[in-house]
Structure 1
Amino acid sequence: MTIHATRGRRARRLAGACLLALVVSGGARAAPIPVRVVVVTTFEIGKDTGDVPGEFQTWVEKLPLKQELPAPGTWHGVMRYSPDLHVLAIATGEGPEHMASAITALVLDPRFDLRRAYFVLAGIAGIDPNFGSVGGAVWAPRVVNGGLAHAVDAREIPGDWPDGYTPVQGSTPTDNPVPPLHSLSGDMEYTLNPALVGWAYNLTRSLALPDTPALKAIRARYVGYPQAQKPPSVLLGDTLSSETFWVGARMNRWAERWVGYWTQGKGTFATTAEEEIGMMQALTLQAQAGRVDPDRVLVLRTGSNFDMPPPGETAAELLKSETSEGGYSGYLPAVAAAYQVGSVVVRELALHWDRYGDQVPGTPPAQGR
């Protein structure tokens, strides 16, 4: 980076910080920065531009998002903004805690009025080979909490239990009726606006996602898993949010059961990631204060790796290969797919604000308009 570029970046950050200070102090009450869509990403592995991309960098470079804004109280410390599209992007940091704190800081930031903004989480994830393939993109109708549970050590699981996990308010894995979803223990399942999710899916379902020799080689190993052997595509399926990075066929069976249990048979486990539950909890609480609209939230996950090994390979071997031997096997195609699919929706919303500012797509017109 040149000295002039460095000075320019510092100047932009200083200007943003001064604006924030003035607004917070009440010295000069600036008009809110208009935001039509918030793109939520979870990490960046280097710089925001010019190196190996993380989730955030792809949006910065390709949308593009040229303006830097300070993001106080967040992991990344900087957000990016497009004054032309009125799109804001944030890198929250990995894990539900980073996500919840970053989203709360953003919503409470006096520079923004987010009451009509759409939130689009676009990130990579593990994918169930019984559902889809690496490199594929999945819009989530539901988010299920995979981190809150009673757990029994594997060596002590009763013989008639399918696994060692029970609901916090229950004593067996299949307690019936299902304990209340909203309780002192936390929120276990969130159903996103079906009309909006369906609209986003229909808008992108025909996109041709990149397929590479590497992806073909990965999925060829999953003999006996017909969905895993298909080329990448855009799908609909639920996401399980858990801070624990789990792996293996037994854990995959638990995830499929857990999603089915908390959705009472309506859901289909598709992807596994960390942050959704933190985002949904934060946005739901802020919606109670009227600061955001919970019907304007979308979750898009793309498969960077399978969550269980192919036949003939152990879970430990898969974990080693995915975490210490060059990273997730489908990482770069998944990062690219998150932008390719997500940007279609983001651009549609931003460029047709006269249509979507007051009316959530897929929903009937409000009475009296």
Structure 2
Amino acid sequence: MELTHKVIGTVDNKEIVEHTVTNANGISLSAMTLGATLTKLVTPDKNEIRKDITLNVENVDDFVAHRPFYGATIGRVAGRITRGKFELSGKEFQLDVNEGENLLHGGPKGLDTKGWAVEAESGESEARLIYTYTSPEGENNFPGTLAVKVIYTLTDENEWIIQYEASTDAPTLFNPTNHVYFNLTGDIKKSMLDHQLKLNSDLYGSLGEENLPSGQLEKVEGTPFDFREGKAVKEAVLSDHPQISPLNGLDHPFVLNPKEKGVQATLYDPESGREVELYTDCNSVVIFTHNAEIDDYLIEGEPAKQYAGITLETQTLPDAVNQPGFGNIILRPGELFTSQTTYKFNVRKG
């Protein structure tokens, strides 16, 4: 397993280091210490042409200035918390908000904005990048000092395994995700609307005002949200469904069926033959389809186009602390939070 690293910039006078690991099949994964962020994932297509299949900005300065979340570790809490408020142990907390009156992806100084320590390990059949960060009590006004570890493993089985661990010295919230955007064509100037998506999900979370969770879980049957048999992403994104058309696409959580172990989602690009299989112990995956062009920065000389990528963000259902039945994201002293998500990369030759 090949392992290299280089300095790609500085933030607050600290060097930002990017590591790249490459397996025996020519798949390579790059990640940087800023935000414990995936920066590149190169895989072959059906013609053995290797290209980056993720969306990301081209330099550290743009990542800091525009905070696109691409490939980043998100937390302490992924998604939105309504009005940035929650109650814990009989006390009400008001978090620092950063999307109107609501908290998004951890707040104004989330985990994606932080410099993480990293250790790199390489063996015969896998390599690991071990990122650690301690979030002090009061950061974004969260209670408790939170010690976080995120481990990226690349294997010769063509798996990218993400493992999360966290502990706290006071009751707090923790619900992380990775905000990777996939574009399996290998060309971010092409949209991913023709990608085929299959989800092991019977329910999705509907949205209310300000893209906040409504608190309702709706059946996918008979709606554009039904990906159980697999279909082109555009069949949902371009529909006139009242949950979709105002957003110009998807930005919704899907409840994953816990009774069935194995593949929870499959994303496939017929043009390149590339395929991603998703395995996770989380109860949901948030699908977001990059619903607008972003011209704050350039990627390969152009703005990030509408539908340039699609996320598969595994997590506990968003705003779970305020929505009964959505899951538990409370972490207490003496507990160890653990979670694992695996993306497995395949190529269909036919």
Flag whether TM exceeds 0.5 (same fold). no
Higher Cα radius of gyration: 1
**Bigger share in strand:** 2
More helix by share: 1
TM-score bucket of the superposed structures, by smaller chain = under 0.3
Normalising by structure 1, report the TM-score: 0.25
Q: Which has the higher contact order (CA 8 A, sep 6+)?
A: 1
TM-score (norm 2): 0.26
